[in-house]
Amino acid sequence: MPNNLTIIDNRTGKKYEVPIEHDTIKAMDLRQIKVKDDDFGMMTYDPAFMNTASVKSKITFIDGDKGILRYRGYPIEQLSENCTSFLEVAYLLLHGELPNRTDLDDWRQNIKLHTYVHENIKKLMEAFRYDAHPMGMFISTISALSTFYPEAKDILNPDVQRKQIFRLIGKVPTIAAFAYRHSKGMPYIYPENELTYAGNFLNMMFKIGEAKYKINPILEHALTVLFILHADHEQNCSTNTMRGIGSSHIDPYSACAGAAAALWGPLHGGANEAVLHMLDEIGSADKVPAVVKDVKEGKRKLMGFGHRVYKNYDPRAQVIKKLAYEVFEVTGKNPKLDLALELERIALEDDYFVKRKLYPNVDFYSGLIYQAMGFPMDFFPVLFAIPRTAGWLAQWQEHLSDPDQKIARPRQIFLGYGERNWVPVDKRK
Catalytic residue positions, numbered: 268, 307, 363
3-state DSSP call for residue 60? strand
Residue closer to ligand SDX, measured from CB, 146 or 361: 361
Q: Report, in Å, the least distance between residue 72 CB and ligand SDX.
A: 16
The answer to whether 271 contacts ligand SDX (rule: CB under 6 A) is yes
Q: Report angle CA 222, 224, 229 to the nearest 5 degrees.
A: 95
Is residue 295 involved in binding ligand SDX (CB under 6 A)?
Answer: yes
Nearer to ligand SDX, 214 or 356 (CB): 356
* Smallest gap from residue 238 Cβ to ligand SDX (A): 6
Position 358 contacts ligand SDX (CB under 6 A) = yes
Q: In what order do the strands lie in the sheet with 74-75?
A: 60-63, 68-71, 74-75
Which residue's Cβ has the minimum distance to ligand SDX?
306
Binding mask 214-253 for ligand SDX (x = CB under 6 A): -------------------x--xx----------------
What is the amino acid identity at position 331?
T
- Contact string (CB under 6 A) for ligand SDX, positions 21-60, x = contact: ----------------------------------------
Q: Which is nearer to ligand SDX, 59 or 303 (CB)?
A: 303
d(CA 65, CA 325): 27
Of 113, 208, 267, 354, the one binding ligand SDX (CB under 6 A) is: 267
Quickly count: other Cβ atoms within 10 Å of residue 279's Cβ.
Answer: 23
- The answer to the question of residue 276 lying near ligand SDX (CB under 6 A) is no
381 binds ligand SDX (CB under 6 A): no
Three-state SS for 241-253 is: HHHHHHCCCCCHH
User: Between vectors from CA 395 to CA 200 and to CA 116, what angle results, nearest 5°?
Assistant: 25
- The CA angle 386-390-395, to the nearest 5 degrees, is 135
User: What string of DSSP letters covers 325-371?
Assistant: HHHHHHH---THHHHHHHHHHHHHHSHHHHHTT--B-HHHHHHHHHH
Minimum distance from residue 262 beta carbon to ligand SDX (Å): 10
List the beta strands (DSSP E) in 72-228. Answer: 74-75
Q: How far is the CB of 20 from ligand SDX (least distance, A)?
A: 26
Binding residues (CB under 6 A) for ligand SDX: these are 233, 236-237, 267-269, 271, 295, 301-309, 356, 358, 361-363
